[in-house]
């Protein structure tokens, strides 16, 4: 998500720049590997229920902030990320390459 949306006044220049670089890396790898019929895509999830994010979501003010800006009004589930990865790997996804899918409940579409 930070490859598409900057943060005001937060000092995240390096973080956002590296996220943008990863998007371009996906595109470049897709072009280099396409002649070999290899697809390259990426997923960019936002906050997903996990042990890593749980301590942050346990803070009511942080959880409320995340939920307020999310159009779907909820935190994502790991299966929702896995589903997209499976779609990329399945034969039905074999014509998609060089794309990054933002799994963020609509945040990048709305901001």
Structure tokens at 16: 């956002």
Quick check: is 15 catalytic?
Answer: yes
User: Which residue of the set 15, 36, 95, 102 is catalytic?
Assistant: 15
The H-or-E segment that residue 89 falls in is helix 78-89
Please report, for residues 25, 75, 76, 100, the alpha-carbon distance to residue 50 in angstroms, rounded to integers and kept in the order given.
26, 10, 9, 21
Per the CB < 8 A criterion, the answer to whether 41 and 97 are in contact is yes
Q: Which residues lie closer than 8 Å to 50 by C-beta, 6 or more apart? A: 78
Catalytic residues: 15
């Amino acid at each position: 998500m930070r490859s598409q949306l900057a943060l005001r006044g937060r000092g995240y220049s390096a973080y956002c720049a590296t996220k943008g670089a990863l998007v371009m890396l996906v595109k470049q790898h897709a072009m280099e590997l396409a002649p070999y019929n290899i697809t390259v895509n990426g997923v960019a999830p936002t906050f997903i229920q996990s042990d890593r994010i749980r301590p942050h979501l346990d803070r009511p003010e942080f959880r409320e902030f995340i939920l307020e800006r999310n159009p779907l009004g909820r935190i994502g589930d790991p299966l929702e990320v896995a589903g997209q990865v499976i779609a990329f790997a399945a034969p039905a996804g074999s014509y998609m390459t060089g794309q990054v899918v933002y799994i963020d409940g609509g945040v990048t579409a709305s901001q």
